Amino acid sequence: MSTSAESRRVAPGHLPGDLAMWFFILAELSVFAILILAFAVTQALKPQLFGESRLLLNTSTGLAMTLSLLTAGLFAALAQEQVKRSRSRHGAVYLLAALLAASVYVVLKITEYRHLLASGLGMEHNTFFTLYWILTGFHFLHVLLGMVILGWLAERCRRGLYNAANRSGLESGVLYWHMVDLIWVLLFPLVYVLN
């Protein structure tokens, strides 16, 4: 690795991860912003329908999903800190903990989806549930991809492929996971709580 690349990694104020990941995250956030805006505008046009439909969701489950994703994000950040301290194997353990916390979200979300479908609250039920399924389903796919990334990062940490001077790939993967967290932190109140 060149000296200029090393100094760029430790320079104050530099963006962590790869620039390509930042562009990807920006593109994904733009798509989510359009979907969230569509949800908010439709809710303003049909407040009674959205209020009544929202009562059919379990806010406690939504909160538990939020906590599981944020916990996974915390573990991913701790893994990154371990790698900065040249403790790559410790980082792998934290990434596996992040993967376990994310698995809680997946189990809860699948359980919620099954319950809604069994209750006849599929995409065609009404406008609220059409947008609910689109928004949360799209996010769910991002969670699954994020879990694949966390698993891949954990394996690379276990093999010692990341260290204090070479962690850009790890930073990019953790950034992706934080994007997944951020989106859910916006979706949870919008879909489950706010009228």
pLDDT in the model for residue 30? 94
- Please give the angle made by the CA atoms of 33, 174 and 102, to the nearest 5 degrees: 80
Report DSSP state, residue 14.
P
pLDDT in the model for residue 95? 95
Average pLDDT over residues 50-61: 95
Q: What are phi and psi of 165, to 5 degrees?
A: -90, -15
Q: How far apart are CA 31 and CA 79, in angstroms?
A: 29
More confident residue, 21 or 168: 21
Question: Given the structure tokens 């990941």, which residue do they identify?
Answer: 21
Average pLDDT of the residues of the chain: 88
More confident residue, 163 or 10: 163
pLDDT in the model for residue 10? 46
Reported as type and span, the H/E element at residue 120 is none
* C-alpha to C-alpha distances, 26 to 29, 31, 98, 154, 179, nearest whole angstrom: 5, 9, 23, 25, 9
pLDDT band at 165 (very low <50, low <70, confident <90, very high): low
Neighbours of 168 (CB within 10 A): 17
For 2-45, what is each residue's pLDDT tens digit?
434 443 444 555 666 677 888 888 999 999 999 999 999 999 99
pLDDT band at 168 (very low <50, low <70, confident <90, very high): confident
Average pLDDT over residues 87-113: 95
Of 38, 39, 141, 160, the C-alpha closest to 89 is: 160
Segments of 40-189 assigned E as strands = none
The first and second tokens of residue 2, run together, are 């060149």
For 123-146, what is each residue's pLDDT tens digit?
999 999 999 999 999 999 999 999
pLDDT in the model for residue 2? 41
Taking the chain, what is the end-to-end CA distance rounded to the nearest angstrom? Answer: 53
pLDDT in the model for residue 156? 87
pLDDT in the model for residue 164? 64
Average pLDDT over residues 175-189: 94
Kindly report the pTM of this predicted structure.
0.86
